[in-house]
Structure 1
Amino acid sequence: MQPSAKSLIHDIYRAETKKDARTAYQRFQDRYQAKYPKAVENLMKDEASLFTFYQYPAEHWQHIRSTNVIESAFSTVRLLTAKTRGQGTMATTLAMVFKLAERGQKRWRRLRGYKLIPKALNGVKFINATKETLAA
């Protein structure tokens, strides 16, 4: 990927406000529509979900935009199941995977802004993800 295209994509999802993100999104479209129409079309297709994380508290953004939580959980299970040859029946495999996940859970960090999760689940609207601009 071209460094300038990557930089513009970073500008989209690292913007402080939804308005700034949409401006960066438009800049990306304007600059790369002619040269990379399929990439721009793909980005445009997902526009509705692209800016969804602005409706959540800023403390949650790091977790929403990252797959590290999922990757680290599965890497533990994958590593240890690969070492065990012939896990046996489906039931023993599921039990082993459950125990590995349970063990890995002890190392998980608490989500940033975890106290805001009930508000997000109960439909509290966040505008540009800041607590000061909560709309009840």
Structure 2
Amino acid sequence: MILGIGVDVLHLPRLRSLLARRDPAALARRILSRDELDEWSGLRMDSLLSERYLALRWTAKEATYKALYPHLKASWGDLRVQKDGPKPLVRLSDDFKFSSSVLSDQRQLRLHLSVSHDADMMVAYVVAEVQP
């Protein structure tokens, strides 16, 4: 059963503007999980890789939130984007508290993520699926 579908589009100059106005580490701490923050810290010397890392996670997490809401209300830190070979995956943290009549266990939830970027745009699309 499809629980929800979410999509998010980010205009990269918007992210660049945020990074220029604020401390990039503060923004990273706001939107990244602990593991992601450690990975991002290793990329900080390369501004393009660092920006793309943040942009992908921003769009993937926003799209995931939209796919899960109102059944589940995940925060930025509750979501983790990681790689499975060349494909990115999005997962809920292991300690996420399920409080939904639709789901009782994280193993029932499948999140399907697709991302794409071209020039100054990044888009993420998420399908949240509940399996019995």
TM-score (norm. length: structure 1): 0.30
From the CA coordinates, give the structure whose radius of gyration is larger. Answer: 1
